[in-house]
Amino acid sequence: MTDTDPDQALARLRRFASEIVTETELGKRLHSAADERQPLRVKFGIDPTFTDVHVGHAVPIRVLRLFQDLGHLPVLILGDATARLGDPTGRNEQRPALTEEQVEHNAATYLEQIGKVLDLAPGRCEVRRNSEWFTPMGFFGALRLLSRATIARMLERDDFQKRIEQRLPIHLHEMAYPVMQGWDSVEVRADVEIGGNDQLFNLHMGRLLQEREGQRAQVCLTTPLLLGTDGRKMSKTYGNHVALTDAAEQVYGKVMSLSDEGMADWFRLATDIGEEEAAALLAGHPREAKGRLAWELCRWIHDQEAADHAAAEFVRRFKKKELPSDIPAVEIAAGNYPLPNLLHQAGLCNSTSEARRLIKGGGVRLDGTVVADVAQQVEVGHGNAVLVQVGKRRFARVRPA
């Protein structure tokens, strides 16, 4: 335990909270934890359904980090059991089932990435997998657990409600999801659970189940959902996410294409910049503010050097409209190619048809000049690398293999 004043701790946590159930209760627990020198057990669960953790996921993890810095104990739950089922939250269809191998692989990559935000050292953090208790539970154990929730309660969730209205299938096992997540809280005796604000229902389920088990119901702290590059909720499914595995240039570029409206949230949730400084930045030119934001994100996900480089590269490419300094080289068999085929072979387009369309649309440059002729022949021979550009972001130097 650190000696941070509990009231101060609460104030710092509030920055990330969209809702706290209840704030009074959280305050009390922070106080009693300090008095008894007994860290709070702060739970956060993440299902290893994909290979990348993105910045949106990282928000609750940052809250976990904050709790950790305040001397509390994060309990990170890798939902290897729940991942195989799939969280129906916000879904209008069932998720595909994952195999055990996929889940294991994803779990490993998740831990590595989460380690960038949270100190995972034993003693500083507890990492659990929920297969630990769900596997031995057995069918009847599972039924006993499910008997604690009702259909009516589940139907309060509007994602289920919508699916019913739209006459989409809802499978029984999908209803099990919130109950499983709630049971995790019972198993780890969570004092607090963190989650995105779309998780509120699931977090409440944890309270309910804990009470039935005679435990003190956890405090729920939800964080606002970070919006992705297209203004929708950040999600891998939408492809609008900034991943913790993205290269610095990608991170910088993606952040720069955020909408202005979303910026304030990003400053608050994804950086450590203080409120006043953030307000000052936001009052200035949005481009400057966004540049700072992009730089901060790069520094966080990579390091300062990478951030500086990404910033310089960005200016070079989009302000001065120069070519990027590192254009990937692509080798293909030497020969004379019709332009569409060249683009396809070099991997810049998915098909020659797509290449033709882009050429007709004026989106293709050869050695810096727009080429609108579909029939253009390009010689790929010894010594002469051809600089090919498709749109604003796809570049390659094509040379013979």
**Residue 295 in tokens:** 């730089």
356 binds RNA (CB under 7 A): yes
CA distance readout (Å), 363 to 105, 259, 395, 398: 39, 24, 12, 18
**Are residues 188 and 41 in contact, defined by beta-carbon separation less than 8 angstroms?**
yes
Contact pattern from residue 13 through residue 32 relative to RNA, giving x for each residue in contact according to CB under 7 A and a dash for the rest: --------------------
The least distance separating RNA from the CB of residue 133, rounded to whole angstroms, comes to: 29
Instruction: Rank residues 9 and 251 by Cβ distance to RNA and give the closer one.
Output: 251
Among 237, 353, 377, 384, binds RNA (CB under 7 A): 353
CA-closest candidate to residue 129, choices 148, 95, 106: 106
d(CA 145, CA 209): 9
Which residue, 178 or 340, has its beta carbon nearer to RNA?
A: 340
Strands (E), 88-232: 126-129, 192-196, 219-223
Instruction: Classify 260 as helix, strand or coil.
Output: helix
From candidates 109, 197, 235, 352, binder to RNA by CB under 7 A: 352
Compose the 277-306 pattern: x for residues touching RNA by CB under 7 A, - for all others. ---------xx--x----------------
Strand partners for 65: none
According to CB under 7 A, which residues from 132 to 171 bind RNA?
A: 164, 167-170
Closer residue to RNA (CB): 22 or 350: 350
How many residues touch RNA under the rule CB under 7 A: the total is: 41
For tokens 């020659």, name the residue.
Answer: 352
Closer Cβ to RNA, 26 or 294, answer by number: 294
Instruction: Determine, following the binding rule CB under 7 A, whether residue 363 of this chain makes contact with RNA.
Output: yes
CB closer to RNA, 115 vs 361: 361
Q: Which is nearer to RNA, 334 or 370 (CB)?
A: 370
What is the per-residue burial (b if ≥16 Cβ within 10 Å, else e) of 319-356? eeeeeeeeeeebebeeeebbbbbbbbbbebbeebeebb
Applying CB under 7 A, among 32, 150, 161, 257 the residue interacting with RNA is: 257
3-state secondary structure of 180: helix
Per CB under 7 A, residues contacting RNA are 164, 167-170, 230-231, 252-253, 256-260, 286-287, 290, 314, 318-319, 338, 340-341, 344, 350-354, 356-358, 360-363, 390-394
